[in-house]
Amino acid sequence: MSDYRRAYVSGGTYFFTVVTYRRQHLFQHEMARLALNRAIAKTQQNYPFTIEAWVLLPEHLHCIWTLPDGDHDFSIRWNLIKSLFSKSVKSSFHRADWMSDSKQKHRETTIWQRRFWEHQIRDEEDYNNHFDYIHYNPVKHGWVKELKNWPYSTFHNYVKNEFYPAHWGCETPLFVEIELGESWNGGN
C-alpha cells in the first residue's frame, strides 16, 4: 500500500485537481453538473469550506478551498462529494465493462479516478499562481479562446468584482504553469 504524504494544516488553503475515471466527459452533461453542485452543497452543510476558485472542465476540475480554523480534513470532504455524486449519477454513467477486480474490492464505480491531487498553498505568490492556473485552464486545454466563453468557472465572479478584466488571458499569450511536485493523495 502506498504511503501518501499529506499536508494537513488546520484552516489551510489547498489547490486540488480531481479527474473522472478514464477521463470521461461527464461534466458536458447538465445532469452531472447539477449533481456535482448538490454533492458539494450537501457536503458543505456538515463539513464547511470556502471555495476560493473553481473551474469545471468536461473530465476534470481544479479548485482552491480554504478550510475553517481548527479543521484540516479535506479528504473527508472529497470522499463525500465523490460518493454523493457517484450515487446520484451511477445509473447514467457507471460502466460495468470497465470494472476491475480492484474497483470491485474497493466498492467503487467507474465515475472518478481513485485519487486526487492536493497542494497546500504556501504564500500569496503560490496562491496567485494557482488562482490564475485555475481560471486559465479552459483556454490551456483548447475548450475556448476567450475565458468569458467558458461558463463553468469562478472567473466570471472575479470579472464582476473587477479582480480580472473581462479579456484577461486572451489579449496577449498567457502561460500559467504550476509546479506539480507533490504526491497524489487518496480519495474515492
Grid cell digits, residue 180? 506539480
CA distance 98 to 4: 26
CA distance 48 to 56: 20
Residues 115-140: pLDDT tens digits? 888 999 999 999 999 999 999 999 98
pTM, to two decimals: 0.82
Binned at pLDDT 50, 70 and 90, residue 185 comes out as very low
Binned at pLDDT 50, 70 and 90, residue 110 comes out as low
Lowest mean pLDDT among 47-56, 103-112, 129-138, 150-159: 103-112
Grid cell digits, residue 56? 469545471
Q: Tell which CATH classification among 3.30.465.10, 3.30.70.1290, 3.30.70.260, 2.60.40.640 matches the domain 13-129+179-186.
A: 3.30.70.1290
- Domain extents in the chain: 13-129+179-186
Length of the chain: 188
Q: How far is CA 62 from CA 54, 98, 99, 106, 133, in A?
A: 6, 25, 26, 25, 9
Task: Spot the catalytic one: 14, 152, 158, 164.
Answer: 152
Spatial neighbors of 84 by CB under 8 A, at least 6 apart, are 38, 39, 42, 43
Grid cell digits, residue 119? 497542494
Binned at pLDDT 50, 70 and 90, residue 112 comes out as confident
- Indicate if the pLDDT at residue 183 is higher than 70: no
Catalytic-residue membership of 152: yes
